[in-house]
């Protein structure tokens, strides 16, 4: 079963392809995605890698967590499910207070 990993503190120059190539050293990578800002398109400094199985994912965590990749010491651990966001009061049109 595939396992998703969180990869943090990525260099701004890291791409989906370079991230995939890096993690292929530990096994088959199903996907590698660097998260980008919607407005600027610039990397947000983190991403996700989906490894083929648990054994390869564990090997990737051991091999890369705390290691230098593209000039940055990256953080690698098992990705956690996204928590639901609280209501941000979006019905006010961006303005506070009563009208």
Q: To the nearest whole number, what is the mean pLDDT of the chain?
A: 90
Mean pLDDT of 37-55: 96
- Superfamily per CATH, domain 3-74: RRM (RNA recognition motif) domain (3.30.70.330)
Which pLDDT score is estimated for 85? 73
CA–CA dist 93, 60 (Å, integer): 45
Asked which of 57-61, 62-66, 77-81 is least confident by mean pLDDT, the reply is: 77-81
Which pLDDT score is estimated for 61? 98
List, in order, residues 6 or more apart from 1 with CB less than 8 Å away: 53, 54
Q: Where are the domains of the chain?
A: 3-74
Which pLDDT score is estimated for 44? 96
Query: What is the DSSP annotation of 11-76?
Result: -TT--HHHHHHHHTTSS-EEEEEEEE-TTT--EEEEEEEEESSHHHHHHHHHHHTT-EETTEE-EE
Which pLDDT score is estimated for 81? 84
Q: What percent of the chain has pLDDT over 70?
A: 87
Mean pLDDT of 42-68: 97
Checking if the pLDDT of 90 tops 70, the result is no
């Amino acid at each position: 079963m595939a396992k998703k990993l969180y990869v943090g503190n990525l260099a701004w120059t890291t791409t989906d392809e370079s991230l995939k190539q890096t993690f292929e050293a530990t096994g088959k990578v199903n996907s590698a995605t660097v998260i980008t800002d919607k407005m600027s398109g610039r990397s947000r400094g983190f991403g996700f890698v989906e490894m083929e199985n648990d054994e390869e994912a564990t090997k990737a965590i051991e091999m890369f967590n705390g290691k230098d990749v593209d000039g940055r010491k990256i953080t690698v651990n098992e990705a956690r499910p996204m928590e639901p966001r609280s209501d941000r009061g979006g019905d006010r049109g961006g303005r506070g207070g009563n009208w």
